[in-house]
Amino acid sequence: MRIKEAGMVDRLMPDLEAQLLLIGQSKGKFGGGRRKPFRVTQRKTEDGSKPKFSVMAVIGNRNGYVGIGFGTSSETMPAREKAIKNAKLNLIKIKRGCGSWQCGCQTHHSIPFKILGRSSSVRLEFLPAPKGVGLAIHSECRKILELAGIKDVWGRSYGQTRKRINLINACFDALKTLQSTKIMKSFEKEAGVVEGKV
């Protein structure tokens, strides 16, 4: 059943952690362009330009549950709150395991199999990695996988990965396939697959 209220998610999962993803960019004077959590777009009106802030948040319990959410508002704080609320409603359960043939430790530090995700022109590929590799992927994807509870993974990407929102959506898209892909019981045991735990 779908949960439609963020408050219920808080009740069911008390140890959720939230992080903002850097989708914005400030216009630095010195060739800058530091990554910022707020993406600012402007609309011209009779009174001048009105800014609009977009925020993307990721939440997770570092134990197999993760969600991303998008929020916009004319001010920064409400945008942030909306993003976190949407992330809570967007929570998914994922499978973890050790699908790395170099490792074969049967614990859930990585993913059980190769996954693919796409959004717009961005295509991502995550591969199971042996223990100690860490998250060898883009920094914003790293935040998402960290909060999902995945520790070691190799990644490849294609397309316009500079477009952060698409990158993030592709990353989440890939994580979704962890749950939707059918796997054999025997393999599940071999790779030490576990589902999300509250």
CB-based contacts of 78, cutoff 8 Å, min separation 6: 71
Torsion of CA 120, 121, 127, 129, to 10 degrees: -100
Using the minimum distance from each CB to Zn ion, give the nearer residue, 57 or 103: 103
- CB-CB contact of 136 with 155 (8 Å): yes
Using the minimum distance from each CB to Zn ion, give the nearer residue, 81 or 190: 190
What is the nearest approach in angstroms of Zn ion to the Cβ of residue 172?
A: 24
What is the nearest approach in angstroms of Zn ion to the Cβ of residue 169?
A: 28
What are the tokens at 95?
Answer: 């499978």
Phi, psi of 168 (to 5 degrees): -65, -45
Interface with Zn ion (CB under 5 A): 98, 103, 105
d(CA 142, CA 13): 22
Residue 35 pairs with which residues in a beta bridge? 25
What is the nearest approach in angstroms of Zn ion to the Cβ of residue 99?
A: 8
Using the minimum distance from each CB to Zn ion, give the nearer residue, 88 or 96: 96
What is the nearest approach in angstroms of Zn ion to the Cβ of residue 111?
A: 11
Using the minimum distance from each CB to Zn ion, give the nearer residue, 94 or 103: 103
